[in-house]
Amino acid sequence: MNRETAIRVTDLTKMYKLYKKPSDRLKEAISLFSNKELHEEKFALKNFSMELKRGETVAIIGKNGSGKSTLLKMIAGVLTPTLGEVEIKGRITSLIELGAGFNPEYTGIENIYFNGSLFGFEDKAITSKIQSILDFADIGEYIHQPVKTYSSGMFARLAFALMINLEPDILIVDEALSVGDIFFQQKCNSYMKNEMRNVTKIVVTHDMTSVANLADRCIVISEGKKVFDGSTLEGIEFYVKRIHSESFSVKSKESSLQRSDEPSKRTDSDIEDNDSYIQIDQASLGGALEAYIKSYKVEVNGSPYRGFVLAGDNIEISYQVCAQRDMGETIFGYIISDKFGNQIFGENTVTSLKQVFLFEEGNSLVSLSFQWPEVKEGYYFLTLGIGEGNHELQHTIQCWAHNIFEFSCVSPHKTIHCLFNNNIEQVEITNLRR
């Protein structure tokens, strides 16, 4: 390997022999001169190759059972490959299985020294790092308690704080941080991004927001094989489309609200037979329900939702509305909320377009669009609403469809410090004389 390469994996394969019953294993073992095989070969990973440079951060994503953890365990030396080769340059630390390498009877402090010795550190060297570990873990007096009394979140805090202080050249994190609270996860992600720039990092997570903000590169694994290796955002889009088995052509869309009194060539059966429309359980809806939402679909920039949104993306919501009667002064709108239920942004057709609509009895298709603003990365939820009446004393909420769709917002090339950034217009510095 050249000096810039930290990890090289060549044709890595892990195969397990599966037997229908335990006795078949013995029969196969003692039948030395028989060619009859009593097992089935199951490949957890097959002919996998990759090369990681020093300081590179790679996200490995895939469905459960796709082979991600098997790959990481072989890189970390926990599992022995059936075939292939792993070359490592430098010290490697890993958080693959929560609690692995910890003695449950030892206290947190004792486990710090125990793990340090496994990595070749003398007690004196570990003592110099203790305060840094304790400050990052932030578990208080529990550090003096046996780790068997720890919650999974406390385990994650101590394990991560320890691993980053063992001066790794390579860090592997496999979903271990998902058990921690959101503030600790943010702390860890920030540390890996800003303080470990020269450390090669492999991250496995189902959180596409973390993938987009942490990784320089994305690898997608499916059924033990590498099916994508490239840029992070392209990898997320590839993965989401693959798991949903979506194959849609890009279509140009009008950005304005479709008027219900304009002729439409679509029929009820076109909507109901279209797999891209998501059905809504009417029992989950709120309001008078004289007009209610039956199904909907979400598109981003004219294509199916790719698993994330960026500032400036055009979001189009199409939904089928069933009206029990003719309705006058109909109003349509949407709200985007964060995961805590705070309403972040939204709009309706009265305040935005200065319009209300006449709505006929029966089924109609409504489409509205908006541009995704520059807001802090995270998960956001879509609520759709239908109202009737343009006067507050004569207004009826006909339908609320709460939190029916989840958006993952990412900002890979810009840090959003709070809910949104508000530009500094001017800075002046004046030296004050004593």
Structure tokens that stand for 64 in this block: 């459960």
Instruction: Classify residue 32 by its DSSP letter.
Output: T
| pLDDT at residue 2 in the model | 66
Widest pairwise Cα distance in the chain: 98
Return phi, psi of residue 312, to 5°: 95, -10
Decide if pLDDT at 269 tops 60.
Answer: no
Nearest to 70 by CA among 54, 48, 55: 48
CA distance 143 to 111: 10
> 273 versus 320: which is more confidently predicted?
320
Per mean pLDDT, which range of 128-132, 335-339, 422-426 is the poorest? Answer: 422-426
Cα 397 to Cα 254, 400, 408: the distances in Å are 27, 8, 28
| pLDDT at residue 118 in the model | 87
Exposure on the CB side of residue 392, measured as CA atoms within 13 A: 0
Mean pLDDT rounded to a whole number for the chain: 85
Mean pLDDT computed over 410-426: 75
Mean pLDDT computed over 46-54: 95
| pLDDT at residue 284 in the model | 84
Cα 335 to Cα 174, 316, 345: the distances in Å are 35, 13, 6
Specify the DSSP element, H or E, that contains 290. none
Decide if pLDDT at 288 tops 80.
Answer: yes
Show the DSSP H helices in 4-122 as ranges. 22-30, 68-76, 108-118
Helix 152-164 to helix 123-137 angle, to the nearest 10 degrees?
130
Return phi, psi of residue 273, to 5°: -90, -5
Which residues does residue 292 pair with via DSSP β-bridges, in sequence order? Answer: 322
SS (HEC) of 358-384? EECCEEEEEEEEEECCCCCCEEEEEEE
| pLDDT at residue 257 in the model | 35
Instruction: Classify residue 142 by its DSSP letter.
Output: G
% pLDDT > 70, the chain = 88
| pLDDT at residue 1 in the model | 62
**Domain spanning 268-409, CATH architecture:** Distorted Sandwich (2.70)
| In the block, residue with structure tokens 């609270």 | 181
Using the CB atoms, write b or e for 323-345: b if 16+ within 10 Å. Answer: beeebebbbbbbbbbbeeeeebe
pLDDT in tens, 296-316: 999 999 988 888 898 899 999
Domain range annotation of the chain: 5-243, 268-409
Nearest to 114 by CA among 171, 153, 158, 80: 158
5-243 CATH pick, 1.25.40.390, 3.50.50.60, 2.40.10.340, 3.40.50.300: 3.40.50.300
